[in-house]
Amino acid sequence: MPGSRASVFGEAEDFQAALSADGVAGMLFTSHGQFRARLTQVTLDRLRLAAVEEAQSRIGFVAVPAGMVLVSFPIDGGPSPVWSGIETRTSEMIIFGPGERLHARTVGPCHWGTIQVPDQQLADYGRALAGTWFVVPPAARWHPPRAAVGQLRDLHRAAIRMAEARAAALTDLQAAHGLEQQLIHALLECLPAGSADEESPTARRHRAILARFEDLLQAEPLAQISEFCAALGISERMLRECCNKHLGMGPSRYRDLRRMQQVHRALRSMDPPAASVLAVASRYGIRALGRFAASYRARYGEFPSTTLRRRDGVTELTLDRRRVKLQ
């Protein structure tokens, strides 16, 4: 059923949860300051559109939903995420095939959009228009014709603005179907043969290494970097090179920041009788509590014990835990 939703966020956890339907499996926020983001999502019969405005730097782990193709592009000439170590210019798009897993990071404020389309539908339309099989590569940066990408952005922008102005504007089935057909046609015009830089075998292997690294971090939170490398069958140098390119930092720093965020979220959500800073920190592999407390204070502006006392529902901080629907 076609529909739309426009939201602004003051909490990173709420923003991450809202993006989970688009394949975002996790986010590590790497900058300081009050969180803020804006997200508009449009659901048509088969397509899903999104427009995102972010202020804070972060690293997202994305798993493209099965049977879907993910298309991303900058909006309004501003910066967009670095997808799998690949930067995109204003005139470019990046596309990932069904089930592909990757990291996307931002450095400061950015404004970007996505379109998710069923791979089979894209193939069928491509065959109908071009008379040949249309195959989406696992990952590629596309250089579409200027007029074609301009039309696609105009259609995407019109749908987003309609959703932000009137939440019920896209519930008319006939209008939504017409918009969807135009979007698919415009997207295919952006994907002519020979206009893509496909991911190299080496880049694909590195992306797969980092996806498995993410799995290991989730499954074995107490393991050391050397143990991760042994499980991955690679050297520490190789893991460091992959992390620096795709995550913008080394594996140890990524692991440590990830642990700190997990502790922060756990402390905010637990009742004092059921938890202590030491118990929570130990659960996520934190051993040097004094050094951790100093780093924690530098990032969140308070000691871990203060966060525990200011858990949700206790202080005025809960006023920021909201999602505001825009009419």
> Tell me, what CATH number does 82's domain have?
2.60.120.10
What is the Cα–Cα distance from 60 to 129, expressed in whole angstroms?
Answer: 35
What is the Cα–Cα distance from 180 to 198, expressed in whole angstroms?
Answer: 27
The 3-state DSSP class for residue 156 equals helix
**pLDDT reported for residue 171:** 58
Residues 178 and 291 in one domain: no
| Residue 322, pLDDT above cutoff 60 | no
- How many distinct structural domains can be found in the chain? 3
Confidence of residue 254 (pLDDT cuts 50, 70, 90): very high
* Pairwise pLDDT comparison (136 vs 142), residue with the higher score: 142
Q: Which of 248, 269, 286 is the last residue before a domain boundary?
A: 248
Whole-structure pTM value: 0.87
Residue 304: domain span: 249-327
What is the Cα–Cα distance from 315 to 186, expressed in whole angstroms?
Answer: 50
Q: Residue 207 has which token pair?
A: 């992306």
The percentage of residues in the chain with a pLDDT greater than 90, rounded to a whole number, is: 61
Q: Within 13 Å, how many C-alpha atoms sit on residue 130's CB side?
A: 17
Residues 66 and 22 in one domain: yes
Residues 237 and 271 in one domain: no
Q: Which of 158, 183, 199 is the last residue before a domain boundary?
A: 199
| Residue 114, pLDDT above cutoff 90 | yes
Residues 6+ apart with CB under 8 A from 52: 19, 37, 38, 39, 110, 111, 112, 113, 114
Q: Residue 113 has which token pair?
A: 């959009």
Residues 302 and 187 in one domain: no
Residues 6+ apart with CB under 8 A from 193: none
Tell me how long the chain is.
327
Span 214-224, average pLDDT:
93
Task: Tell me the per-residue pLDDT of 60-89, one tens digit each, with 9 for 90 and over.
Answer: 999 999 999 999 999 987 788 999 999 888
| Residue 29, pLDDT above cutoff 60 | yes
> Considering only 73-87, 155-169, 202-216, which range has the smallest mean pLDDT?
155-169
* Pairwise pLDDT comparison (224 vs 34), residue with the higher score: 224
Residues 90 and 186 in one domain: yes
Sheet with 82-83: strands ordered across: 24-29, 58-63, 101-106, 82-83
Task: Tell me the per-residue pLDDT of 37-67, one tens digit each, with 9 for 90 and over.
Answer: 999 999 998 999 999 999 999 999 999 999 9
* Pairwise pLDDT comparison (319 vs 138), residue with the higher score: 138
Residues 164 and 54 in one domain: yes
> Considering only 1-5, 92-96, 138-142, 206-210, which range has the smallest mean pLDDT?
1-5
**pLDDT reported for residue 326:** 30
**pLDDT reported for residue 170:** 59
Span 158-185, average pLDDT:
78
Residues 26 and 175 in one domain: yes
Residues 194 and 206 in one domain: no
Span 137-143, average pLDDT:
93
Residues 105 and 214 in one domain: no
Span 144-159, average pLDDT:
93
| Residue 323, pLDDT above cutoff 60 | no
Residues 6+ apart with CB under 8 A from 282: none
| Residue 315, pLDDT above cutoff 50 | no
Span 208-216, average pLDDT:
98
Mean pLDDT (the chain) is: 87
Residues 295 and 322 in one domain: yes
**pLDDT reported for residue 309:** 82
Long-range pairs for 144-150 at CB < 8 Å and ≥24 separation? 144/91, 144/92, 144/93, 144/189, 144/190, 144/191, 144/192, 144/195, 145/189, 145/190, 145/192, 145/195, 146/91, 148/186, 148/189, 148/190, 149/73, 149/91, 149/93, 149/190
Q: Which of 162, 179, 199 is the last residue before a domain boundary?
A: 199
Residues 100 and 192 in one domain: yes
What is the Cα–Cα distance from 319 to 306, expressed in whole angstroms?
Answer: 18
* Pairwise pLDDT comparison (319 vs 119), residue with the higher score: 119
Span 191-215, average pLDDT:
93
| Residue 1, pLDDT above cutoff 90 | no
Residues 53 and 173 in one domain: yes
**pLDDT reported for residue 308:** 86
